[in-house]
Structure 1
Amino acid sequence: MANFNVPTRAEVAPNNQEIFDNLKNALGFVPNLYATIAYSDTALGNYLQFQNAKTSLSKKEKEVVNLVVSQVNGCKYCQSAHTAIGKMNGFTEEQILELRQGYFSSNEKYDALVKVAKAITLNKGKVDDTTLSNFFNAGYTKENLVDVIVAIGDKVIMNYLHNLTQIEIDFPLAQDIA
């Protein structure tokens, strides 16, 4: 496997240095996975535009998708980052563990969302009729479904980047689940 180090500000292109500065001002640090995507002169800026684009999903709903997709794809970095972000968005540790396992016992709508996101990820876009019907019956629309697919694509990018590079996780480690 290739050996990847987290690039420093001095090691990235000037446009990425500016993004590093903005991230440091907004977050207090540059997450290692964001720094790693900066090996490309354009990918970090492109990715952040994609990640921050408008969506019909709430921040909490995006975290539902992020957590289950990161679990399905076995990305410990994203599991850890989105456990922290999920907590900032109001989920408890127990709820986060449920979401990562692909269900949500205390909210029917989030349960339908996590199940459809897990099925899409596991089955490369193919979802059984019952799971899809439950998603729509929970109040979601075709617009929401498209935005779920876009959110999955966002997370797959970072899951694959970490799974390939195995750079150091700079968030509190997410709890392992069976």
Structure 2
Amino acid sequence: MAHIQLPEFEDMTPAIQEKARPILEKTGKLGEIFKLLALDEKLYFATDGMIQRFLLDETELSYEIKESIALLISKENGCKMCVDVHKGIAKMLGLSEKRIEEVLNGVEAIETSEKEKALLTFCIKASKKENYKILKEEIDALKALGYTDIQIVEAVAITGYFNYINTLSNVFALGE
């Protein structure tokens, strides 16, 4: 049970209800993270914009890499709810059960290129408290593997997003 009172559909603003309605029609329920964000319209729409732009829209990184980052960072942060949610999203986006299990077993367990492993390992390092110790040489190494500046920034932005959403979920005991 969440550590704070989460709003029900009827308690949400009309603008958020409009976003909630299709989810309710499709799944019959709203997740706790949705309800937590629905406490404040600015918070909800800022977060929704990040979800749309980083994860759902087609971007410079493949859905497979983006969902791998989502799963890895959520697992690193101990966010069971986000891991469970993103296992489902990953399947919906076409990731195989095998790939999802590999990701959840860590970067070295993933059957993929060394290039992709390097980016995922970098994202894990970027998610840590001491990310300020990342050196230019580490970013240059990703570029030498063929990643563009935009792809690297996008990967770090997704990493930061999951640190953010995992923190909200963990602090307020969502999904327990």
Matches within 5 A, 1:95-110: 95-100=99-104, 101-108=106-113, 109-110=115-116
Q: Distance in 1 between matches of 2:92 and 2:18?
A: 26
Q: Find runs of 4+ consecutive structure 1 residues off by over 6 angstroms.
A: none
In 1, are the aligned partners of 2:102 and 2:111 still within 8 Å (CA)?
Answer: no
User: Per-residue displacement from partner, 1:100-134 (whole Å, max 9, x unpaired)?
Assistant: 32335321133122111111112325435775455
Q: Distance in 2 between matches of 1:90 and 1:24?
A: 23
| Structure 1 equivalent of residue 34 of structure 2 | 34
Query: Structure 1 regions of 5+ residues with no counterpart?
Result: 170-178
TM superposition shift of 1:98: 3.1
| Structure 1 equivalent of residue 46 of structure 2 | 46
Q: Provide the aligned C-alpha RMSD in A.
A: 2.5
Q: Number of paired residues?
A: 168
| Structure 1 equivalent of residue 125 of structure 2 | 119
Q: Distance in 1 between matches of 2:98 and 2:67?
A: 14
77 and 104 in structure 1: CA distance in 2 versus 1, 3 angstrom threshold: same
148 and 110 in structure 1: CA distance in 2 versus 1, 3 angstrom threshold: same
| Structure 1 equivalent of residue 76 of structure 2 | 72
Decide which of 71, 83, 87 is 2:87's aligned counterpart: 83
User: Per-residue displacement from partner, 1:1-29 (whole Å, max 9, x unpaired)?
Assistant: x8224421012222221221133346654
Letter in 2 for 1:105: I
TM-score, normalised with respect to structure 1: 0.79
TM-score, normalised with respect to structure 2: 0.80
Structure with higher helix content:
2
Query: Structure 2 regions of 5+ residues with no counterpart?
Result: none
Percent identity between the aligned chains?
23
In 2, are the aligned partners of 1:73 and 1:159 still within 8 Å (CA)?
Answer: yes
SS in 1 for 2:127: helix
User: Per-residue displacement from partner, 1:126-169 (whole Å, max 9, x unpaired)?
Assistant: 43577545533432111111111211122122101110111236
Decide which of 56, 63, 73 is 2:60's aligned counterpart: 56
